[in-house]
Amino acid sequence: MQALSGLDASFLFLETNKIPMHIGGVAILEGTLEFDAFRTFLAERVHTVDKMTQKLVTSPMNVDRPHWLEDEDFDLNLHLMRTALPRPGGWKELRYIASKVFSTKLDRDRPLWEFTFVEGIDTIPQVPKGSVAVISKIHHSAFDGKSGAELMSMLFDVSPTPKKVPAKKDKPKPKAPGAVSLLTQGAFNVVGRTTKLPGLLWETGKATLKTSYIARKHGIDMPTLPFSAPKTRFNDSVSAERIWDSSILDLHRVKAIRKAVKDSTLNDVVLTICAGALRKYLQEKDELPDKPLVAMVPVSTRTEAEKEDMGNQVAAMYIQLATDEADPIKRLETIHINTIIGKLYQDAIDARKLMGYAEVIPFGLAGVAARYYSRANIAKKHNAIFNLVITNVPGPQIPLYMAGQKLLVNMGTAPIIDGMGLIIPVFSYNGTISISPTSAVNMMPDMAKFCRYVRESANELEAAALALLEKDAKEGTIAHDITEDDSAQ
- Cα–Cα distance, 300 to 298 (Å, whole number): 7
Q: Tell me how far CA of residue 13 lies from CA of 1, 193, 451, in angstroms.
A: 20, 18, 31
Instruction: Say which of 79, 140, 336, 480 is annotated catalytic.
Output: 140
- What class does CATH assign to 1-164+179-489? alpha beta
Task: Give every CB contact of residue 410 below 8 A, 6+ residues apart in sequence.
Answer: 25, 26, 27, 395, 427, 429, 434
Residuewise pLDDT in 10s, the chain (489 residues): 677 876 788 888 889 999 999 999 999 999 889 999 999 999 999 999 989 999 998 876 565 678 899 999 999 999 999 999 999 999 999 999 999 999 999 999 999 999 999 999 999 988 999 999 999 999 998 876 555 667 888 999 999 999 998 888 777 666 666 665 555 555 545 545 455 545 545 555 656 566 666 556 655 555 566 677 899 999 999 999 999 999 999 999 999 999 999 999 999 999 999 999 999 999 999 999 999 999 999 876 544 554 555 444 556 788 999 999 999 999 999 999 999 888 776 665 554 454 544 444 554 445 555 565 566 666 666 678 899 999 998 899 999 999 999 999 999 999 999 999 999 999 999 999 999 999 999 999 999 999 999 999 999 999 999 999 875 445 456 665 556 554 333
DSSP track, 225-281: -TT-BPP-TTSSPPPS-EEE--EEEEHHHHHHGGGGSTT--HHHHHHHHHHHHHHHH
- Cα–Cα distance, 395 to 432 (Å, whole number): 10
**CB-based burial of residue 167 (10 Å sphere; 0-12 exposed, 13-18 middle, 19+ buried)?**
exposed
Cis peptide preceding 111, ω within 30 of 0:
no
Q: Where are the domains of the chain?
A: 1-164+179-489
Does this model's pTM top 0.75? My answer is yes
- Cα–Cα distance, 123 to 10 (Å, whole number): 41
Cβ atoms 420, 385 nearer than 8 A: yes
Does 140 participate in catalysis according to the annotation? yes
